[in-house]
Amino acid sequence: MFYKVLILELLVIGGLVTLRVRQNAEEGPTTTASQVDLPASEVAVTPLPDRPLRPVTNAVEGRFTFPVAGHGPQHVISVFGDKRGSSRKHKGIDIKAPRGTQVVATTDGFIERVREGGSGGKQVYLRDGRGRLYYYAHLDSWEVEEFAAVEAGDVLGTVGDTGNAKGTTPHLHFEVLLGKKKEAIDPLPLFLAAAK
C-alpha cells in the first residue's frame, strides 16, 4: 500500500510540474539567469507571484468544505452509527439533496479511485495529504478522473441514487476512512468544528 501511495504521489507531482511547464510555455519566453550575463556577486531571483498563497487546510482542525454544494449539516438524514438491519451500523452520513446537485471535494487531495458497482453505485475516493480517505457514494454522475489533483470545493460529481439506494430519495453517502484498515469515523464533527 505504501508503494501504491508513493507512486500516486509521484504521478500527481509529475502532473503538476507538467501543468506549470505548459502554463509557462503559454505565457511566452522568459529571461532566465542562463540568458543574462550577471556579475558573479549578483544572484538572479525569480519574483513570487502576486496572487495570495492559499493555506493548507487539510488538518482536522482546519477548514472542511461540506461535500454537497449549497447544503450543510442540517441536510443530514442518516448519521454515523444508525442501525442498518440486525447487525450492521451506518459507517457514514447521508446528505439529502435534489438529483444533480454538485458534490464537491471536502479538502485538497487527489482522486484515488473512481468506481461503479456494488452497494455504492457510482463512487469516488478522495485521498488527502495526511492519508485520510473520503468516500462518496450513490452519485448520479462523475466529473473527475482517477489520479486528478483536486482542491476543496472542486466538483467531483452529482447527487443521485445509484447502487443499493436505487429508487430512494437522492442523497450522498459520505464516509471518512482512516489507516490501512480503512476504519470509518464519524464525519459530522469535522464539519461542525469547521463551522465554529
The CA–CA distances, whole Å, from 126 to 49, 50, 154 equal 29, 30, 11
Q: Find the range with the poorest average confidence among 45-54, 116-125, 148-157, 166-175.
A: 45-54
**Same-domain pairing of 132 and 188:** yes
pTM: 0.67
CA distance 133 to 64: 14
Residue with cell 454522475: 141
**Same-domain pairing of 30 and 88:** no
pLDDT attached to residue 184: 92
Share of the chain above pLDDT 90, in %: 51
Domains: count for the chain: 2
Contacts with 21 (C-beta within 8 Å, 6 or more apart), sequence order? none
Whether 139 is covered by a domain: the verdict is: yes
* pLDDT per position as a tens digit, 72-112: 999 988 888 777 777 788 899 999 999 999 999 999 999 99
**Same-domain pairing of 31 and 88:** no
* pLDDT per position as a tens digit, 21-67: 566 656 655 544 445 454 555 555 556 556 554 444 333 345 689 99
**Same-domain pairing of 98 and 171:** yes
Contacts with 106 (C-beta within 8 Å, 6 or more apart), sequence order? 64, 65, 66, 67, 126, 134, 152, 190
Whether 47 is covered by a domain: the verdict is: no
**Same-domain pairing of 171 and 116:** yes
pLDDT of 123 over the 50 cut: yes
Domain containing 120 equals 73-194
**Same-domain pairing of 114 and 186:** yes
Whether 41 is covered by a domain: the verdict is: no
**Same-domain pairing of 14 and 77:** no
CA distance 21 to 23: 5
Handedness of CA 135, 138, 140, 146 (dihedral sign): positive
Q: What is the DSSP string of 57-123?
A: --STTS----SBTT--GGGEEE-TT-EETTTEE--SEEEE--TTPEEE-SSSEEEEEEEE-GGG-EE
pLDDT of 164 over the 60 cut: yes
Q: Would you give the DSSP letter of residue 160?
A: B
